[in-house]
Structure 1
Amino acid sequence: MESPQRVRAMLSFVQAADAGSFAAAARALGISPAAVSKNIAGLEGALGVRLMNRTTRSLGLTEEGEVFLRQVRIGLEALQQATEGLTAGRAAPTGRVRISSSAGFGRDQLMPELNGLLVRYPGLAVDVDFDDRLVDLVQERYDIALRGGDISDSSLVVRRVCQLRLVLVASPEHLARHGVPRTVQALARHPLLARRFLGGRVSPWNFRAADGSIRSLDLGSARMTLSAPEALTQAAVDGAGVAQVGAHQVWSHLRAGRLRLLLTDSHEAGDYEMTLQYPHRALLAPRVRVTVEHLLQAFARREELHLSPQALAPFVA
């Protein structure tokens, strides 16, 4: 297989692996599904190994295909960077960037940075969906997703935005009525405000015991169970009880005196992260690349996303 044909075959292979079908890959590449199939078959013949298992309804990578896909991405990314290095100064990025973000993070952290992006790159347009569900970037044709939690999709490029530090909070009015809990046992006697994820799972409240083990508080008797962290924050500000939320979500309320922190010595802050994700580095469009870098730089400057225990210490009840 000659070099130009090999590159075309590799592009067909990457697109088919990402899209999950020859038809979707063909649409992305502007060729026919038969051409995609022929390119990949020729690549497999040249390599002497099967890269994909095909049926009439599904398409999956073999173990060898998984390994080869990672190697091909590296090579295509290097080719792209070499090309962009020559063309970057000649054309400003243009086009529409589709972003998926959770409602709270999108409203409070993403939205304030979008106008700066569009002023810096006037040829761009943005299309943002505020949705707390887990989206499929490739199938739903998103360029970028902002996600919090544990990330399991290894096919995505994951760029860390910040650590998501969980804290327990209550209003001064609530604490005046019920007292400040100094132990987990005392906390259990307070009205508790729990969060339920869209899949039905309730977010646990974990604590470090004296022996170093991690124990969870039973939230079965929670006074309120809400699906939105913004609603939990408001309920806590209103004095309805104790809530577990991200420190970045309550920073302004802490500084204004509307909330206080509880049990910071034993409460487990968790190891969750907020991340910015996109399907792959190879052939990343300039409009997506500049958006990714702009947002990462902007998020790095936002104080509430990078709070240390020392910064939070003055707000402990």
Structure 2
Amino acid sequence: MGYKNLEFPIGSRFLVTGGAGFIGSNLCEAILDMGYFVRCLDNFSTGKRENIAPFLENPLFELLEGDIRDLDTCMQACKGIDFITHQASWGSVPRSIEMPLLYEEINIKGTLNMMEAARQNKAKKFVYASSSSVYGDEPNLPKVEDRVGKVLSPYALTKKVGEEYGRLYTQIYGLETVGFRYFNVFGRRQDPHGYYAAVIPKFVKALLNNEISTINGDGGQSRDFTYIENVIEANLKGMLAPKEAAGEVYNIAFGGRVFLVDLYNKLSELLEKDIQPNFGPDRAGDVKHSNADISKAKKLLGYNPDYDFNSGIELAVNWYKFNLR
């Protein structure tokens, strides 16, 4: 795989914020498997204890329960840390429309707290999660980093502000930041429960339970679905990126395009189900089409994703078959 042979300096210490979440717990696992120390910071507002339960007996793993909205907690989390991957945030476009003040506190203030703590503790690299939602109403495909439109949700705005802080912290303070615009990440440990669950685990859960799914709109929306292993590769390569790559944001995807109705049909085929979905209204704040140009990440980070949609979705479905309750 694209990151198995990567090496960091002996004794390197890592911090994963949101380490009990979907992406964060997979990053914790990958770094531990490489033999390095990992500190996980999470307040369990969306992360799950079962995601990190397998690591608790590992002497290289440390759990710090705390909130990124508290600067003292962030300072404690960054103490003695070399590399930071900042995944802690609240996702979901619809929820951000309902709770804009909370998103401001967590995604903007929390991210700024973490960058400041990283700077004061002299971290070598600060990698952080942004989102393809920052492209907003920019209609052209594929999405290219320097061509964005007007954001369509508070969530997207919080991610755009985080990118600007990342650029400034590199430019003004010399903190080497690397931002990732994730495109619809999916895979093991992604939570299928709740109103705001992501579309793939939500569809899988409904199909396994012989329930009817609702597709927002006509199913003609397209997404660049990105398997979790590609995201792990990007984060690790981002932490090893040359200084010239800092202060920038990068599309992290495979570079494909799948329509929602085709996604539903593929999942139905893999799960051997024949249940017709409902079609509901479009979701407020949603981007209609999403497809990434990943040439910048390939050139500057050496990013070279191994998993296309088909290979990733088969692995994800197999995981859900045995782990979904």
TM-score, length-scaled by structure 1: 0.31
TM-score, length-scaled by structure 2: 0.30
- Whichever of the two has the greater Rg, that structure is 1
Larger relative contact order, structure 1 or 2 (CA cutoff 8 Å, min sep 6): 1
